[in-house]
C-alpha cells in the first residue's frame, strides 16, 4: 500500500500546476500543511516552556526578585517573605523583634527562638564577630535612620556595655527572651533575609515548583536549574558598576557582605554598616567584599557577615568549621590592583 503511493508521486512540475492536481497531490499537500503546523506548534510550545516569569518587590529593606518558569512562584515567595518580615523586622512596630527591643522581654514564637538560636550558633562559631546585639551601635552611628554620625570614643565605650550575645537570656524552656539591660536591642539584618529566602524556597518546593531563583538584595537561592543549565549569578565589582565574576549554581545559596552598599564618607574615610562588636567601630579587616556559597541562605548570609568582620586571617578558622561552603574574599589590595 505504502509502496504504491510512493510509486505514483507526482513530479514537482505537476505540483506547481493546480489544474493537474490529483487526489494524491492533495493528500501530500495536507501532510505538508500538518507537518508545518506541527513544527510551528512544537516551536511555540518550546518557547512557552522556556519563558521565565520575573517579579520584584521592595521587602525587608531591599529589592526581592523572583525568577521562575512557574507563574505561581513569585506570589508564594512574596507571601512567605512578608510573613518573616512581619515577625523579625526591626522596622515593623508589631514584629516580635520590635516588641523585644521596646520592652526588653517577650514570650517569643518558636520560629523567632529558632532564628535567635541560629544567630547564637554563629556568634559562638565566630568567637563574637557575628553578634545581633549590635543594635545600639547601628543606631549610634546613624545607620538606622540614615542620619550618619561619627561618635566619640567615650560614646562608643558606653554603648559597648549593651553589646554582647551573652546578655540575651533564654528563660522558661526557651519560650521567653529577656535582655540583661532593657536599653539593649537586636538587629537581625545580617541573618533574617537569608532565613526568609530559605523559608520562601521551602514553600515553593512544597508547591511542586522545581526551578526558581530568589534574590533578596544579594542573598540568593538557586532552586533546581534554568531549563537544564545552572543558574548564572553575577557578583558585583565592589568598587564599580560592572560585574566582577559569574558563578553557576544549582540548589545552592549565595550571599555577599560588603562595605560598598551601605556606608558614608567622612573626611575621605569610609564607614560601612557592618560593625566589629569588640571595638564598636565599623569592621576594618581589610576586606571590601565577602561572598559565600552554601547549602542554605541563612548560613551564607550569616557567614558572609562574620567573615567580613574577621578578615582573611582570623576568618580562616571560622571557614574551616564550614567545609561545605565556598568562600570568595575580595581584599582592599585586590581593589587597588583592579582599579589600576
Ligand atoms: P546586607 O544586609 O547589606 O546584605 P549583611 O548581611 O552583612 O549585609 O548585614 C549587615 C547588617 O547586619 C547591618 O546593616 C546591621 O544591621 C547588622 N550587623 C552589623 N554588624 C553586625 C555584626 N557584627 N553581626 C551581626 N549583625 C551585624
Ligand atoms: Mg549577612
Model confidence pLDDT, tens digit, residues 238-268: 777 677 778 999 999 999 998 878 889 998 8
> Does one domain contain both 117 and 259?
yes
- Count other Cβ atoms within 10 Å, centred on residue 191: 27
Least confident of 13-22, 133-142, 149-158, 275-284: 13-22
Least confident of 101-110, 130-139, 157-166, 284-293: 284-293
Among residues 326, 286, 293, 323, the alpha carbon closest in space to that of 308 is found at: 286
The tally of domains found in the chain comes to 2
Among residues 253, 170, 268, 160, the alpha carbon closest in space to that of 215 is found at: 253
> Does one domain contain both 95 and 216?
yes
- Count other Cβ atoms within 10 Å, centred on residue 324: 9
Final residue belonging to a domain, choices 30, 49, 68? 49
Grid cell locating 118: 541560629
pLDDT tens sequence across 311-320: 999 999 999 9
> Does one domain contain both 199 and 64?
yes
pLDDT at 84: 98
Q: Which ligand has the minimum distance to the alpha carbon of residue 61?
A: 1
pLDDT at 335: 59
pLDDT at 4: 32
> Does one domain contain both 209 and 293?
yes
pLDDT at 39: 53
> Does one domain contain both 149 and 181?
yes
Helices (H) and strands (E) in the chain, counts: 11, 14
> Does one domain contain both 42 and 102?
no
Among residues 260, 262, 284, the alpha carbon closest in space to that of 273 is found at: 262
Alpha-carbon gap, residue 144 to 121, rounded angstroms: 25
Ligand 1: centre distance to CA 275 (Å): 8
> Does one domain contain both 30 and 60?
no
Query: Which residue matches cell numbers 539593649?
Result: 184
Final residue belonging to a domain, choices 49, 68, 88? 49
> Does one domain contain both 247 and 126?
yes
- The string of DSSP letters for 131-177 reads -GGGHHHHHHTTTTTT------HHHHHHHHTT--GGGEEEETTTTEE
Domain that holds residue 37: 2-49
> Does one domain contain both 134 and 240?
yes
- Residue 249 sits in a domain whose CATH number is 3.10.520.10
Closest ligand 1 atom to the C-alpha of 256?
A: 4
Q: Which CA distances in Å does 54 have to 46, 189, 216? A: 19, 25, 13
Mutate to test the pocket of ligand 1, among 164, 189, 220 (most ligand atoms within 8 A of CB): 189
> Does one domain contain both 122 and 224?
yes
- Count other Cβ atoms within 10 Å, centred on residue 38: 10
pLDDT at 33: 59
Amino acid at each position: 500500500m505504502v509502496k504504491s503511493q510512493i510509486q505514483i508521486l507526482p513530479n514537482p512540475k505537476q505540483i506547481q500546476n493546480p489544474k493537474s492536481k490529483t487526489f494524491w497531490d492533495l493528500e501530500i499537500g495536507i501532510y505538508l500543511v500538518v507537518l508545518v503546523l506541527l513544527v510551528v506548534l512544537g516551536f511555540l510550545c518550546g518557547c512557552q516552556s522556556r519563558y521565565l516569569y520575573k517579579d520584584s518587590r521592595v521587602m525587608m529593606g531591599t529589592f526581592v526578585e523572583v525568577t521562575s518558569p512557574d507563574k505561581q512562584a513569585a506570589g508564594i515567595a512574596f507571601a512567605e517573605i512578608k510573613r518573616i518580615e512581619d515577625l523579625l523586622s526591626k522596622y515593623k512596630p508589631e514584629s516580635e523583634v520590635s516588641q523585644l527591643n521596646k520592652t526588653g522581654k517577650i514570650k517569643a514564637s518558636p520560629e523567632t527562638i529558632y532564628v535567635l538560636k541560629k544567630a547564637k550558633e554563629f556568634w559562638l562559631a565566630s568567637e563574637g564577630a557575628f553578634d545581633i546585639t549590635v543594635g545600639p551601635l547601628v543606631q549610634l552611628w546613624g545607620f538606622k535612620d540614615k542620619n550618619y554620625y561619627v561618635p566619640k570614643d567615650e560614646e562608643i565605650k558606653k554603648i559597648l556595655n549593651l553589646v554582647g550575645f551573652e546578655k540575651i537570656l533564654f528563660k522558661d524552656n526557651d519560650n521567653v527572651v529577656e535582655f540583661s539591660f532593657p536599653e539593649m536591642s537586636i538587629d537581625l539584618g545580617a541573618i533574617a533575609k537569608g532565613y526568609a529566602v530559605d523559608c520562601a524556597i521551602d514553600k515553593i518546593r512544597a508547591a511542586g515548583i522545581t526551578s526558581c531563583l530568589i534574590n533578596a538584595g544579594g542573598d540568593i537561592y538557586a532552586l533546581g536549574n534554568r531549563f537544564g543549565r545552572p543558574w548564572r549569578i553575577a557578583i558585583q565589582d565592589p568598587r564599580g558598576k560592572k560585574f566582577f565574576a559569574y558563578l553557576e549554581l544549582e540548589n545552592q545559596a549565595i550571599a555577599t557582605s560588603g562595605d560598598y552598599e551601605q556606608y558614608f564618607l567622612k573626611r575621605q574615610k569610609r564607614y560601612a554598616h557592618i560593625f566589629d562588636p569588640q571595638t564598636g567601630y565599623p569592621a576594618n579587616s581589610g576586606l571590601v567584599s565577602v561572598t559565600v556559597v552554601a547549602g542554605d541562605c541563612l548560613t551564607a548570609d550569616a557567614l558572609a557577615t562574620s567573615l567580613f568582620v574577621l578578615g582573611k586571617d582570623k576568618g580562616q578558622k571560622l571557614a574551616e568549621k564550614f567545609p561545605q561552603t565556598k568562600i570568595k574574599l575580595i581584599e582592599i589590595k585586590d581593589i587597588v590592583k583592579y582599579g589600576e
